[in-house]
């Protein structure tokens, strides 16, 4: 395995280009199971998670060709069984359930894995496909679903912690080949769902409302192939904004969507950061001492849970007290212990973290627990005094393309070494 070694205390300066969206790429790749025609997906980020999804498609019988940041998928799925070894490593792979069920009439998908960030049930996935007329049960750690023919239905997909992105995606894909009209109420509004809707529309699905709480899908008999470009990764863009602020930097994040980051940018303005939009670029400058601000995460367009850990790292060096509450994943606080190893003063209180800002963090060996927690540790390492060693960076490689190289480009001293 590999580790990051970071020498802290260097301001970030320059320009950085955001990669394609991981969270949009995964369901879009899964959607290629709905057709036997050729689909070209461009601007695909080179990540462990995208390669895992490509391996899963191949295991299901599809032909997958990778050239740079383009993935071409063709051929037919010849099995309905999604293997445990692949699905268990990445929760996003569970979104093959809907397209397999719609295309083959049956699906056997292992219970999903991924980052350890708390309980992540699949009840809304099952609620959606059952509403479409499928039958489902559990067998030896797998979801077994069958349907002689899916039929459109109206359904409510709200859950205890709001809407579910992957459940919405699964139902959208299953409904694409269902008879009649499907209406999803309390659908996830994340930009990644809007992208999936646009991709399905390009394939010939009659769909409207993607990106809103009410999605209407009129199923079709057959889907076409298409060529589609993935949009930029809003979480990567937000992570770079927070890195620049923490390191008192001045950077331009290129190919970023300002509108996708309004909740974060609003909070940055409040704490005293200068953020400007210039077309598809975002410039962030931070020279002053910031003030603390509380954050509560919510489904989009609220503050993203995927930026909670990175924001906590910023508040850890901001004078005063801030309270960070995660309403999406209330147990997503495994990064607290590692930040405290570096000198942070953070304590857990049920579904919140109370952060007392300190003057300095100090380099230390720390362990990454999940994807976004890893990014928080990188932020801490960038501003810490001395050397920080971050272990288990395979978590980072799941969601950030060439992060070490991009940081070096901005002036950071970061190296990737063997453990």
Cα–chain center distance at 54: 17
Phi, psi torsion values for 12, nearest 5 degrees = -95, 135
What is the C-alpha separation between 354 and 333, in angstroms, rounded? Answer: 11
What is the C-alpha separation between 48 and 134, in angstroms, rounded? Answer: 32
Which tens digit of pLDDT belongs to each residue from 113-154? 544 444 457 889 999 999 999 999 988 888 999 999 999 999
Over 70: is that where the pLDDT of 184 sits?
A: yes
Q: Which domains does the chain have, with CATH numbers?
A: 2-19+232-418 (3.65.10.10), 22-229 (3.65.10.10)
pLDDT of residue 93: 86
pLDDT average, residue stretch 67-83:
96
DSSP codes, 34-82: G-SS-EEEES----HHHHHHHHHHHHTT-EEEEETTEEEEES-----EE
pLDDT of residue 368: 94
Confidence of residue 318 (pLDDT cuts 50, 70, 90): very high
pLDDT average, residue stretch 144-171:
94
Question: Which of 100-109, 118-127, 211-220 shows the lowest per-residue confidence on average (mean pLDDT)?
Answer: 118-127
Q: Could you give the 3-state DSSP secondary structure of residue 167?
A: helix
Percent of the chain residues topping a pLDDT of 70: 98
Confidence of residue 85 (pLDDT cuts 50, 70, 90): confident
Over 90: is that where the pLDDT of 168 sits?
A: yes
What is the C-alpha separation between 25 and 324, in angstroms, rounded? Answer: 29
pLDDT average, residue stretch 167-188:
98
pLDDT of residue 112: 73
Q: Say whether 115 is catalytic.
A: yes
pLDDT of residue 113: 55
pLDDT of residue 156: 97
Confidence of residue 185 (pLDDT cuts 50, 70, 90): very high
pLDDT average, residue stretch 313-339:
95
pLDDT of residue 114: 46
Over 80: is that where the pLDDT of 204 sits?
A: yes
Which tens digit of pLDDT belongs to each residue from 248-273? 999 999 999 999 999 999 999 999 99
Confidence of residue 350 (pLDDT cuts 50, 70, 90): confident
- Of these residues, 39, 54, 95, 115, which one is catalytic? 115
Over 60: is that where the pLDDT of 51 sits?
A: yes
Q: Is the peptide bond before 301 cis (omega within 30 degrees of 0)?
A: yes
pLDDT of residue 117: 44
């Amino acid at each position: 395995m590999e580790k990051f070694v970071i020498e802290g205390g260097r301001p970030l300066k320059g320009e950085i280009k955001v990669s394609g969206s991981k969270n949009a790429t995964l369901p879009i790749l899964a959607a290629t199971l709905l057709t036997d025609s050729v689909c070209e997906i461009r601007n695909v980020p080179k990540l462990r998670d995208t390669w895992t999804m490509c391996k899963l498609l191949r295991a299901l019988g599809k032909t997958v060709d990778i050239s740079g940041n383009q993935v071409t998928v063709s051929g037919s799925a010849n099995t309905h069984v999604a293997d445990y070894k692949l699905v268990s490593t990445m929760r996003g792979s569970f979104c093959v359930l809907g397209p397999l069920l719609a295309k083959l009439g049956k699906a056997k998908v292992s219970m999903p894995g991924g980052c350890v960030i708390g309980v992540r049930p699949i009840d809304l996935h099952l609620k959606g496909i059952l509403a479409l007329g499928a039958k489902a049960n559990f067998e030896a750690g797998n979801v077994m679903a069958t349907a002689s023919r899916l039929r459109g239905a109206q359904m409510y997909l709200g859950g205890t912690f709001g809407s579910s992105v992957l459940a919405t995606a699964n139902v959208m894909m299953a409904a694409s080949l269902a008879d009649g009209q499907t209406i999803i109420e309390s659908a996830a509004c994340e930009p990644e769902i809007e992208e999936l809707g646009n991709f399905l529309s390009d394939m010939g699905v009659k769909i409207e409302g993607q990106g809103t709480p009410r999605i209407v899908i009129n199923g079709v008999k057959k889907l076409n192939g298409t060529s589609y470009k993935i949009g930029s990764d809003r979480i990567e863009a937000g992570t770079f904004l927070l890195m620049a602020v923490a390191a008192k930097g001045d950077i331009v994040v290129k190919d970023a969507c300002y509108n996708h980051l309004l909740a974060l940018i609003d909070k940055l303005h409040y704490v005293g950061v200068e953020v400007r939009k210039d077309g598809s670029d975002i410039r962030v400058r931070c020279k002053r001492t910031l003030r603390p601000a509380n954050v509560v995460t919510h489904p989009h367009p609220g503050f993203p849970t995927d930026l909670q850990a990175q924001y906590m790292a910023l508040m850890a060096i901001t004078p005063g007290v801030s309270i960070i509450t995660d309403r999406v994943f209330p147990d997503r606080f495994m990064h607290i212990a590692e930040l405290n190893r570096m000198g942070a003063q953070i304590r857990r209180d049920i579904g919140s973290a109370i952060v007392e800002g300190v003057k300095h963090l100090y380099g230390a060996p720390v362990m990454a627990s999940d994807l976004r927690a890893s990014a928080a540790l990188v932020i801490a390492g960038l501003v810490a005094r001395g050397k920080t060693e971050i272990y288990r960076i395979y978590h980072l490689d799941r969601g950030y393309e060439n992060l070490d190289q991009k940081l070096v480009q901005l002036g950071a001293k970061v190296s990737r070494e063997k453990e």
